[in-house]
């Protein structure tokens, strides 16, 4: 299964993966970020219930220095 | 001109939030997060702008983040839409920022029109402001120094109008004080100069004109000593505010007036 995350394609095993599992695999536990799936924001409360499938486009964003 | 009674103890009120400091600071262009924090501490600023970007997925789990150096319980975050050239991109960015910051709805809207000058696209800015205000955001809006556009943005419901003094990052200072004065005179929400300040005197001039605050980034971050410049800016803002409230003397171009008595001169 291929998922596009922040503009790069990443390969995952299985047919689907929850947002929570994806966060674990990307070592993002404990970090502050927000996730968008195919243009829709995924609320933190649904990380266990939302699945990502082959071809999904995910954005994971955070705050950086800026004016 | 309409009289607006101001008191030196007045706080800066933005959308019901109260701030002691009238200096707002951008967090870009510093050498590292430690320097960012030291400069902000030196300035006493309470509101800090941040950009919203894709996180670096390759980073090590222990790599520090801006949020750790600037805790959200100590500073008021102002996520911006820097780099957005359409209302859709700006709206998308701020909705993600609201999710990132657990529902925090105070934001800085800027929609750019041109990568060389970073002049705002006021049409796209107005379109985005309408949607964001309806969506429950408290919108502080970066705009040109056009008094008509400034008033329209206020009428839409923006909680602060933030006209440029000169181009973003240019350090050219206050290029059109007359337009800023008109905007300040007509506004019923805070007017905060955003962009163009180069050094402390520029910030003082903005405050002497009657601005409610000044937002700056490059003037501090790219000073030879950012931490010292941050302190200078704090004093410049306070100084300009006091001068504005004190009320300057009238200018007398052709009639000099000695400060010492004429009577009793030794002859």
pLDDT score for B189: 97
Q: Phi and psi at residue B59, in whole multiples of 5°?
A: -70, 155
Residue B181 tokens read as 């004065």
Name the fold adopted by A2-62.
Answer: Ubiquitin-like (UB roll) (3.10.20)
Using the beta-carbon criterion (under 8 Å), do B100 and A41 form an inter-chain contact? Answer: no
Residue B195 burial by Cβ neighbours in a 10 Å radius (0-12, 13-18, 19+):
buried
SS3 of residue B246 by DSSP:
helix
Residue B95 touches partner A, C-beta closer than 8 Å: yes
pLDDT score for B267: 85
Which residue stretches of chain B have pLDDT < 70? Answer: 1-5, 59-61
Long-range contacts of range B4-7, CB-CB < 8 Å, 24 or more positions apart?
A: B4/B210, B6/B244, B6/B245, B7/B245
d(CA B78, CA B148): 25
Mean pLDDT of A22-51: 92
d(CA A46, CA B72): 23
Using the beta-carbon criterion (under 8 Å), do B51 and A44 form an inter-chain contact? Answer: no
Task: Kindly list the distances between the CA atom of residue B227 and the CA atoms of B37, B198, B201, B233, B238, in Å, as whole numbers in the listed order.
Answer: 9, 15, 17, 10, 17
Residue B224 annotated to the active site: no
Q: How many CA atoms lie within 13 A of B124 on its CB side?
A: 19
pLDDT in tens, B152-170: 999 999 999 999 999 999 9
> In sequence order, what are the beta bridge partners of B106?
B138
What are A's interface residues with B at a Cβ cutoff of 8 A?
5-8, 26-34, 36, 39, 41, 43-44, 59-67
Q: How many CA atoms lie within 13 A of B244 on its CB side?
A: 27
d(CA B15, CA B158): 9
d(CA B68, CA B259): 55
ipTM, 2 decimals?
0.94
pLDDT score for B1: 44
> Nearest-CA distance from B240 to chain A in Å?
22
d(CA B79, CA A34): 13
Which chain A residue shows the shortest CA-CA distance from B67?
A: A63
Mean pLDDT of A20-46: 92
> In sequence order, what are the beta bridge partners of A34?
A61
Which chain B residue shows the shortest CA-CA distance from A8?
A: B57
Which chain A residue shows the shortest CA-CA distance from B98?
A: A34
Bridge-based pairing state of the strands B76-79 and B106-109: unpaired
pLDDT score for A29: 86
pLDDT at A6 over 50: yes
Of B11, B34, B74, B108, which one is the catalytic site residue? B108
pLDDT score for B5: 67
Using the beta-carbon criterion (under 8 Å), do A27 and B61 form an inter-chain contact? Answer: yes
pLDDT in tens, B20-74: 999 999 999 999 999 999 999 999 999 999 999 999 887 666 778 899 999 999 9
Cα radius of gyration rounded to whole Å, chain B: 20
pLDDT score for A22: 92
């Amino acid at each position: 299964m291929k998922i596009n995350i922040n503009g790069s394609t990443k390969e995952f095993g299985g047919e689907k993966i929850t947002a929570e599992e994806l966060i674990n695999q990307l070592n993002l536990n404990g970090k502050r970020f927000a996730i968008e799936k195919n243009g829709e924001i995924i609320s933190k409360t649904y990380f266990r219930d939302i699945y990502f499938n082959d071809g999904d486009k995910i954005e994971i964003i955070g705050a950086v220095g800026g004016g | 001109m309409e009289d607006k009674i101001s008191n030196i103890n007045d706080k800066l009120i933005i959308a019901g939030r109260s701030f002691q400091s009238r200096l707002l600071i951008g967090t870009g262009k510093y050498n590292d997060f430690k320097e960012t924090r030291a400069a902000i501490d030196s300035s006493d600023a309470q509101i800090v702008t941040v950009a919203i970007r894709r996180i670096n997925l390759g980073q090590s789990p222990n790599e520090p983040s801006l949020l750790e150096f600037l805790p959200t319980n100590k500073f008021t975050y102002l996520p911006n839409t820097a780099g957005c050239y359409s209302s859709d991109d700006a709206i998308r960015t701020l909705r993600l920022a609201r999710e990132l910051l657990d529902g925090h709805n105070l934001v800085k809207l800027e929609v750019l029109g041109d990568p060389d000058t970073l002049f705002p696209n006021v049409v796209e800015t107005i379109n985005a402001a309408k949607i964001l205000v309806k969506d429950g955001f408290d919108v502080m809006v970066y705009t040109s120094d056009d008094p008509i556009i400034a008033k329209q943005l206020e009428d839409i419901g923006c909680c602060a109008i933030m006209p440029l003094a000169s181009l973003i990052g240019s350090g050219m200072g206050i290029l059109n004080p007359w337009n800023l004065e008109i905007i300040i005179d007509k506004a019923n929400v805070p007017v905060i100069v955003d962009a163009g300040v180069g050094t402390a005197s520029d910030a003082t001039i903005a405050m002497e004109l009657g601005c409610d605050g000044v937002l700056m980034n490059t003037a501090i971050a790219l000073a030879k000593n950012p931490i010292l410049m941050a302190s200078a800016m704090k004093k410049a803002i306070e100084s300009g505010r006091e001068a504005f409230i004190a009320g300057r003397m009238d200018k007398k171009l052709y009639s000099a007036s000695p400060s010492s008595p004429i009577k009793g001169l030794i002859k």
